[in-house]
Structure 1
């Protein structure tokens, strides 16, 4: 997997759930490369740099300074619920930040690769017609999905001989340390809290009838790294990335409860329901699997067990302070 042609690699969103893991994986697989991680402006106290990508001048300065061969653009406002509440902030981060980054990268004379973390949310209403391929019409139903497909279109216009672009339309990916605004870590956190108290309690849920495709974040990291091992990437391409196994949110919750020591009752919380919810978000993943010989390796139940253990450790740490 090691490829010595990459000497400078930039990861945006490096302080996030996926970014932290990608930074470690790149350091392991590309020990001779300069690997730069950037988080948002509030992350300047971390090991990574803090930058507002919607600041065009600051973004251009960063690209000039480190002159990356590869950019993994993970930075985004990624919560669909939050996006619906603060659409201006979402568009500034997800579209303007991406456009500024791409503009600055395109101004380089040296060849570069931009890997954009897009989302299955771009398909939106199209999911109602069945599984989506990369050729399916896009019809996002959220500000988050709309900002992401707009960024994809912009990147397609900017892609050129000296700047290849790969857009990964990622389906749900989960793992320990994911923000509890998302459904699976929210379940795990609530169960861990019940375990730490009386062992009996109520868990608040939204729509348990939705079906989603969940992949371990570790398998997603492998997918990112495989892009760097390929020497025949097109000038611009789009890939769906997911497990290929649709599972209901109810089944996820049942598995977490089964893995726990708690006696759990379920209570529906209207605030946890989306204004528009797609019942089944199913994708077709053969294009990426065939191109990169990639298949998910981590069983879903193993990931759920790790997430519950992580939530238990977090709850224990909080109770001891």
Structure 2
């Protein structure tokens, strides 16, 4: 986790929905280190765990107030959102392949859940709501780099659900004067990311002696990869800036376009791995759903907050590989052991 400290958060009351996830757990760490009073909403489950929050350092974990619940529960959102300086809304269903099978669930969580939070913020005293968008809402790049004025295309049910949530957030800012701002991260990666994403699934298969091949999808697409420390810095900066416009979206990306193939080559080079790579049909999106290219124009965010990426792709990859190696060495790997899905 980055040692960046944001003193403006000292003694601020902050709520993070989806704090049990990849980005949410890192944002929790950053804001606790910055002196915030952090309340974390995690998804209730019968196992009694709190996702990736269970893996953050103990001294950070003990400083966090954790509530298990669900953004789909409007009454709980009303009770939970009272008297916060900033609410960061990251709770969402994010797996693109699963959205093809469970579109109703994506609407329930991503659209209705966001609506519940907006209504709760409207009724309660909240200084600012930071809503999390995704670069997937742009679809395949028609112009490069992609600015916030780029046309929107829902090329998957996941993207469509996030478009709905974004539009609701904008409408509540403009219709009800809700202090909501939309942060649109491009492809974050780093420690604790789900193996649904290409970098962690590739690293896991590269390092796992039980895997004699590396099963991946389409390697020809391009993305704008951003190390997790830079992504959570963007959240922190947009949550504190006095120069942002409510109801407006801000891209967070490096502006560097890299093919998946090049990323995999770099992973193989760093790890000195010679395993064969095979394309697995189940990992390839439907033809008209695949987003071919994404690269950000983040000049609007830079102008408003001063944010830029500080970590190169290669440095971020090295740090991510080191994390995975440590987890293998300590027997802490807990994600999928089957790569057929």
TM-score between both structures, scaled by the size of structure 2? 0.85
Counterpart selection for 2:123 from 80, 93, 107: 107
Residue 280 (structure 1) aligned with residue 293 (structure 2) = yes
SS, match of residue 242 in structure 2: coil
- Structure 1: gaps spanning 5 or more residues: none
Q: Give the direction of change, closer, same or farther, for the CA distance of 1:241–1:51 in structure 2 (3 Å limit).
A: same
SS, match of residue 276 in structure 2: strand
Q: Which residue of 1 aligns with 2:92?
A: 76
What's the CA shift string for 1:25-80, capped at 9, x where partnerless?
Answer: 11111x2x43100111128543621111111112112124xx21210001111111
Q: CA deviation at 1:304?
A: 1.1
SS, match of residue 220 in structure 2: coil
Distance 1:163 1:27 in 2: 26
Residue 97 (structure 1) aligned with residue 100 (structure 2) = no
Q: Is the 8 A contact 2:145 2:255 kept in 1?
A: no
Q: Is the 8 A contact 1:128 1:279 kept in 2?
A: no
Distance 1:37 1:44 in 2: 15
Q: Which residue of 2 aligns with 1:220?
A: 231
Distance 2:281 2:186 in 1: 24
Q: Is the 8 A contact 1:193 1:312 kept in 2?
A: no
Distance 1:34 1:283 in 2: 32
SS, match of residue 111 in structure 2: helix
Residue 315 (structure 1) aligned with residue 328 (structure 2) = yes
Q: Which residue of 2 aligns with 1:2?
A: 7
Residue 241 (structure 1) aligned with residue 252 (structure 2) = yes
User: How many residues are matched?
Assistant: 311
Q: Give the direction of change, closer, same or farther, for the CA distance of 1:280–1:319 in structure 2 (3 Å limit).
A: closer
Distance 1:151 1:101 in 2: 11
- Structure 2: gaps spanning 5 or more residues: 1-5, 51-60, 335-341
Q: CA deviation at 1:278?
A: 2.3
Q: Is the 8 A contact 2:71 2:117 kept in 1?
A: yes
Q: Which residue of 2 aligns with 1:11?
A: 16
Q: Which residue of 2 aligns with 1:157?
A: 171
Residue 134 (structure 1) aligned with residue 148 (structure 2) = yes
Q: Which moved more, 1:249-258 or 1:39-48?
A: 39-48
Q: Is the 8 A contact 1:206 1:270 kept in 2?
A: yes
Q: Which residue of 2 aligns with 1:25?
A: 30
What's the CA shift string for 1:254-295, capped at 9, x where partnerless?
Answer: 000001133221111111101121221222111112221111
SS, match of residue 163 in structure 1: coil
Q: Following superposition of structure 1 onto structure 2, how do residues 24-43 of structure 1 map, counting pairs within 5 Å?
A: 24-29=29-34, 31=35, 33-42=36-45
